[in-house]
Amino acid sequence: MRKLKMLAGTVGLLALLGLVNPAFAEPSDTQQINDYLQQGMGDSVSQVNSVSELTDVDPNSWAFQALKSVVERYGCLEGYPNKTYLGNRPTSRYEFAAGLNACLEKVNELITAATADKATKEDLATLQRLQEEFRNELAALRGRVDALEAKTKDIESKLFNVNSKLDASVVMGVTFGGASGNDRVFQLGSAGSAYGDSQVGQLAGGVVRGIPASGSNTSFVARTSLNIRATFTGSDELLIRLRGVTGQAIDAYFPGIASGVGSLFYGLGPGNVAFDGSTPNGRTDGSAAVSFDKVRYTTSFFNNSLRLFIGPRIDIFEYIDTNSFANNEEVDFSSGFMINNPLITFIFAGPGGGFDWQITDWIALRGIYIAPNGGSAGSRTASAFAQPFGASGLFGGSYTAVGEIEINPGKTASIKLQYAHIFEQGAALGTPLNTFYGQGFNAAVGPSGNLVNASGVTDAYGVNAEWAIFPQFAIFGRFGYGNTRINNVASNTFVPIETTTWQAGFALPGLFGPGNTFAAAYGQPIRVNNGRLDNSGLTSFVPTGTEGDVEVFYRFQVTDRLSITPDVQFYINPVNSNSSNGITVGTLRATFTF
């Protein structure tokens, strides 16, 4: 009888404390469902048969005997599956009402079965008062639980797989740009931007042509991405991405600007090919062909500090050369040049694999191997087939192997030291040899050069640094140097080609509101600084000018699912030509995530 009085007195005191506290706003239905699902996946409670089962209850604690009495006499004490009680965790009025209701029902069962001491009038009065006091909460709780269970069953019936989830993003942009009057952007046919209007480039077209800077159109660009993520062990992930791109960036009119990786990385470039490689045959009528442009599997090895990844198509910049302020074309800089070092991530997608090892809190090591034609089963030559290409496959053709070590001198600072070894087999690949050096490379080598057997070997070195000096102010930058050797070309001798690229900028996170960001950056895309076709020095790879790119944006976070970003870019001496007039590109971008 004393135990019953103790329980009733304790319950009454807790009820009194609950009454004097302000009531919290009721959670949304979505939050209820999330809590319910979370509870079902591992945070559920279960009946405790002995208080000694609870690992976090000290036998010497003042609460031990009270809990012991409740569990042994009334059998209405519940703990968590991991054998803890979490006695210090705050309790809501609804949780308290649910626990009280369980104990009251147990007490009523005991009284009905005549297996407990008879209750006094005072005990019954106390129980009646408590029932009356929590009548509204209990009724509301029953109704909310019933509604929640109905909604949860409806949601579960529509899930295609309980181990998988779907997330997506849509990027829309209206872009315009160019210049006025008689301004021109001078380049050589389809020559690459690395050597611009150099002598070797002139071998491709003979005459430098000027594109009228006022001839570009305003265009609508959009990219839709659907990500399916599945887990099989809880610590791994299989990612399958479907993506489609529609609409051209201004690069389709001015090919070669921004290192040839796009003023809008999420748009279509020359030939209606998406800069991210997802859509090879894009359209400009608003529709988009959908492709599986990323499939990769990631899992931990020994522990979560070492992650391994492999797949038939992975993105190098998901693991290498990341940056907190310049790495996501959906929400920060739009230019493909500004979000990565174009030398380190030159071959940025294809079959391969790698690892990400967080050695300590302040140092990490990463490595990746990608073969752009790693799915090819053989090689062929121009003499045997209409479409020539050189050796390929996972290990027989072009590839890139990149290593990166990250050092964190502080919680808000990071320095990444990078090395990339790029092997390019055969001009028939076109990409990357011709993208890097342009069609002028074909003309420079000549018909006797045997392009199928030609290869280019590049060793590139990079630095990526960032520092959030204050929460509202950060600086960042990248630098890259490359040395390229051309091999197996019988009729010509090449002096090694040296290239550089760099960028630097600052960001103001949280400007005028949480989630907003203002940022600006200036950089030099890939430019050849040294290199000749032969030792005579008559045919140089060095262009007449140096392209300089400026990009400024302000991201306004409308909601946690929608952002609006005006973006402005300036191109000085486009395509590394002193003869080129500057052009301006403006974009209004909206990004939806769900």
CA–CA distances in Å: residue 440 to residues 205, 329, 382, 430:
8, 31, 19, 12
Per-residue pLDDT, 321: 96
Topology (CATH level 3) of domain 164-593:
Porin (2.40.160)
Distance CA 422, CA 451 (A): 18
The DSSP H or E segment spanning 160 is: none
User: Please, where are the H alpha helices in 270-402?
Assistant: none
**What's the pLDDT tens digit per position in 439-468?**
334 434 443 334 445 677 889 999 999 999
CA–CA distances in Å: residue 309 to residues 296, 323, 444:
7, 20, 40
Beta-bridged to residue 586, according to DSSP, are 176, 568
Mean pLDDT, to the nearest integer, of 110-126? Answer: 68
Of 119-133, 151-165, 195-209, 335-349, where does mean pLDDT reach its minimum?
195-209
Distance CA 199, CA 542 (A): 8
Contact (CB, 8 A) for 460 and 480: yes
pLDDT of 107 over the 60 cut: yes
Per-residue pLDDT, 168: 94
- Here the tokens at position 114 are 């005549």
Distance CA 191, CA 185 (A): 13
pLDDT of 97 over the 50 cut: yes
| Residue 457, phi then psi, degrees to nearest 5 | -120, 120
Domain residue extents for the chain: 2-158, 164-593
Per-residue pLDDT, 437: 40
pLDDT of 297 over the 80 cut: yes
Strand 495-509 relative to strand 236-246: parallel, antiparallel, unpaired? unpaired
CA–CA distances in Å: residue 408 to residues 20, 390, 402, 413, 416:
49, 42, 20, 6, 9
- What is the identity of the amino acid at 1? M
Report the Cα 559 to chain-centroid distance in Å: 19
- What is the identity of the amino acid at 258? A
- Here the tokens at position 553 are 């944006």
Mean pLDDT, to the nearest integer, of 242-251? Answer: 94
pLDDT of 37 over the 70 cut: no
Which of helix, strand or coil describes residue 323? coil
Contact (CB, 8 A) for 545 and 581: no
pTM for the structure as a whole = 0.71
Distance CA 404, CA 418 (A): 4
Beta-bridged to residue 96, according to DSSP, are none
**What's the pLDDT tens digit per position in 39-54?**
444 445 566 667 677 7
Contact (CB, 8 A) for 193 and 572: no
- When computed from its CA atoms, the radius of gyration of the chain, rounded to whole angstroms, is 33
Of 11-20, 411-420, 488-497, 518-527, where does mean pLDDT reach its minimum?
11-20
pLDDT of 234 over the 90 cut: no
Burial (Cβ within 10 Å: 0-12, 13-18, ≥19) of residue 19: exposed
Closest CA to 334 of 246, 249, 218, 241: 249
Distance CA 334, CA 323 (A): 14
pLDDT of 580 over the 70 cut: yes
Contact (CB, 8 A) for 366 and 357: yes
CA–CA distances in Å: residue 383 to residues 45, 433, 489:
73, 21, 18
Distance CA 274, CA 261 (A): 9
